[in-house]
A and B are shown apart, each in its own frame.
Chain A
Amino acid sequence: MALSSDRSGRFADLLKGHEDAIVASWTDAVAASLRGRLSQAELYRQASELQRGFQAAFDGGAQDLEDDAAAELRAQLSELSSTRARQGFTANETAVSVFTLKDAVLRVLDEGEGADAAVLREYVAFSSFVDRAGLFTFDSYTRAREELIADQAEQLLELSTPVVKLWEGVVAVPLVGTLDSARAQVVMERLLETLVETGSPYAIIDITGVPAVDTQVAQHILKTVVAARLMGADCIISGIRPQIAQTIVALGIEFGDIATKSSLADALRHVLRMTGDKVAQKPRREG
Chain B
Amino acid sequence: MTGGAAERVAVATDQDVVRVRQLVRTVAVAVKLSLVDQTKLVTAASELARNTLVYGGGGTVEVTRVDNGRRSGIRIVFADKGPGIPDLDLALTDGYTTGGGLGLGLSGARRLVDEFDIETAVGEGTTISVTKWCR
Contacts and interface: CB of A to CB of B under 8 A. Distances in A.
A253 interface: yes
A216 B101 contact: yes
B14 interface: yes
Interface string B76-111: 000000000000000000100000011011011101
Contact of B36 (A178, A216, A243): A243
Interface in A240-269: 242-244, 246-247, 250-253
A252 B47 contact: no
Contacts of B35: 243
A216 B100 CA distance: 10
A252 B46 CA distance: 15
A250 B14 contact: no
Interface string B28-63: 000000011011101100110010000000000000
A215 B109 CA distance: 10
What's the dominant secondary structure at chain A's contact region?
Answer: helix
A247 B40 contact: yes
Contacts of B18: 178, 180
Given A180-B14, A219-B101, A243-B36, A213 B108 contact: no
A212 interface: yes
Nearest to B113: A250
Query: Interface range on chain B: under 10, 10 to 19, 20 to 34, or 35 or more?
Result: 20 to 34
A211 B47 contact: no
A219 B102 contact: yes
Contact of B111 (A211, A213, A215, A251): A251
A215 B108 contact: yes
Contacts of B36: 242-243, 246-247
A214 B107 contact: no
A211 B24 CA distance: 13
A35 B40 CA distance: 52
Contact of A212 (B14, B42, B107, B108): B42
Contact of A250 (B25, B102, B105, B112): B112
A245 to B, nearest CB: 9
B19 to A, nearest CB: 11
Given A180-B14, A252-B111, A253-B108, A246 B40 contact: yes
B29 to A, nearest CB: 12
Given A211-B25, A243-B36, A252 B107 contact: yes
Interface string A175-199: 0001011000000000000000000
A262 to B, nearest CB: 15
Contacts of A180: 14, 18
B104 A253 contact: yes
A212 B104 contact: no
Interface string A191-227: 0000000000000000000011111101100000000
B123 to A, nearest CB: 26
Contacts of B39: 211-212, 243-244, 246-247
B47 A214 contact: yes
B21 interface: yes
Given A214-B46, A214-B47, A251 B104 contact: yes
Given A211-B21, A219-B101, 8 more contacts: A178-B21, A216-B46, A219-B102, A247-B39, A247-B43, A250-B111, A253-B102, A253-B104
13 contacts: A178-B18, A212-B21, A212-B46, A214-B47, A214-B105, A216-B50, A246-B40, A250-B111, A250-B112, A252-B104, A252-B107, A252-B111, A253-B102
